[in-house]
Amino acid sequence: MNMAVLSLNEVASTRVDLLTVAEMVQPGSRVLDVGCGDGALLELLSERRSVDGRGIELSQAGVNECVAKGLHVIQGDADTDLVAYPDDAFDYVILSQTLQATFAPKTVLEHMLRIGRRAIVSFPNFGHWRIRTHLAFRGRMPVTETLNQAWYDTPNIHFCTIRDFVALTQLVNARVEKAVALDQAGHPVRVDAPWWFWNIFGQQAVFLLRRG
């Protein structure tokens, strides 16, 4: 990843996973951000990449914040609303840190690849070594800095590891064009490392997919 183009200040003030996603988007493209939250990524994309962006967000507060920023965001749900979008409506459909909170991740991914020519998915890696050790030694569901809710409170109902996700991409017949794993500090894990290495040291992963 060409992170060098971003100044240190920018990196400090913006979530690295969002920047990583932004790096994957071609300037001037049409983008749908599924689960866009307060619109941080859409704003970043329209500033840096001049995209024509749209969003879907579950929470009313999130939608209001987005609308007040001048973003085009509809209140809705990845599980129920993607079905209404026509084929090839967007260049990219992005699912940022939301996959694990959907009811049907496989169906959502299939819709993303139908609606968009490319799909970008970022998710927390449940195979990260800290999570493994947490489960192995404490015998309890892991609660970490980034995944900080107890199992009975968390909206994250479908965790997966990087290897699980790679298997899912094969299942839905998607091609991985690019993949980045970020370590605890938000730095990319060595590019030439094998999947098993990423699966242990990547705290989160960002995948750029296209139909196979």
| Cβ distance to other proteins smaller for residue 71 or 206 | 71
Give the tokens for residue 194. Answer: 């094998």
Cβ count near 43 (within 10 Å): 18
User: Are 104 and 79 within 8 A, CB to CB?
Assistant: yes
DSSP label at residue 137 = I
Distance separating alpha carbons of residues 94 and 55, to the nearest angstrom: 9
Binding mask 78-117 for other proteins (x = CB under 8 A): ------xxx--x----------------------------
- Listed in sequence order, the residues at least 6 apart from 40 whose beta carbon sits closer than 8 Å to its beta carbon are 14, 15, 18
**From the list 6, 40, 67, 172, which residue makes contact with other proteins (rule: CB under 8 A)?**
67
Shortest Å distance, C-beta 89 to other proteins:
7
Does 72 contact other proteins by CB under 8 A? yes
**From the list 74, 141, 168, 176, which residue makes contact with other proteins (rule: CB under 8 A)?**
74
Does 118 contact other proteins by CB under 8 A? no
**From the list 14, 46, 64, 107, which residue makes contact with other proteins (rule: CB under 8 A)?**
64
Q: Which stretch binds other proteins (CB under 8 A): 59-67, 101-109, 116-124, 186-194?
A: 59-67
Shortest Å distance, C-beta 60 to other proteins:
6
Number of residues that bind other proteins (CB under 8 A): 20
Distance separating alpha carbons of residues 112 and 115, to the nearest angstrom: 5
Cβ count near 200 (within 10 Å): 18
User: Are 168 and 107 within 8 A, CB to CB?
Assistant: no
Does 75 contact other proteins by CB under 8 A? yes
Q: How far is CA 30 from the centre of its chain?
A: 17
Does 13 contact other proteins by CB under 8 A? no
Q: 108 burial class (0-12, 13-18, 19+ CB within 10 angstroms)?
A: buried
Q: Which stretch binds other proteins (CB under 8 A): 7-15, 57-65, 123-131, 142-150?
A: 57-65
Does 71 contact other proteins by CB under 8 A? yes
List residues binding other proteins (CB under 8 A). Answer: 54, 60, 63-76, 84-86, 89
